[in-house]
Amino acid sequence: MSRQRRRFEAAEKVKIIREHLLDKRPLSEVCEQYGIAPTQFYQWQKQFFEHGTAAFDPPRVPKEYVLENQVKQLNKKLTSRRKAGRGGISPERTKVHCRPVGALIGPMPCCRGLTPTAK
């Protein structure tokens, strides 16, 4: 009969390590109570001490937040340039009229297989 693998959250692992180190409970009791092997405990303890400095590091800003902030700043810059009358592209310039490549003699692809046509 095989045992099902348990997953411990980070907070649970810290609690288990604290019980042994701070509360001075014997390792055998702690491991028996939580159903873990002593080698597992020592792996967690090693990981805890190796990455303990992360608790004192300043919080990291998520990459999504940084990118969203950059987009907002660029949008502000673009709207201010449009208001000033310089920079922005008019909607007429963004429209491209295309026809299939087979209708032309030479390969001049744009718009994924289509080429521009005159207005």
Mean pLDDT of successive 10-residue stretches along the chain, which has 119 residues:
79 94 95 95 94 79 84 89 66 55 53 53
What is the per-residue pLDDT for 90?
58
Provide the β-strand partners of residue 114.
Answer: 100, 110
- 29 and 46 belong to one structural domain: yes
- 82 and 108 belong to one structural domain: yes
- 29 and 45 belong to one structural domain: yes
Half-sphere exposure of 43 (CA within 13 A, CB side): 6
Question: Number of structural domains, the chain?
Answer: 2
First to last CA, the chain: 76
What is the per-residue pLDDT for 84?
75
Do residues 116 and 98 touch, judged by C-beta distance below 8 A?
yes
Neighbours of 37 (CB within 10 A): 9
Would you say residue 5 lies in a domain? no
Assigned token pair, 21: 């180190």
What is the per-residue pLDDT for 73?
92
Would you say residue 1 lies in a domain? no
- 78 and 101 belong to one structural domain: yes
Give the range of the structural domain holding residue 20, as residue numbers without chain letter: 10-55
Do residues 31 and 51 touch, judged by C-beta distance below 8 A?
no
Would you say residue 2 lies in a domain? no
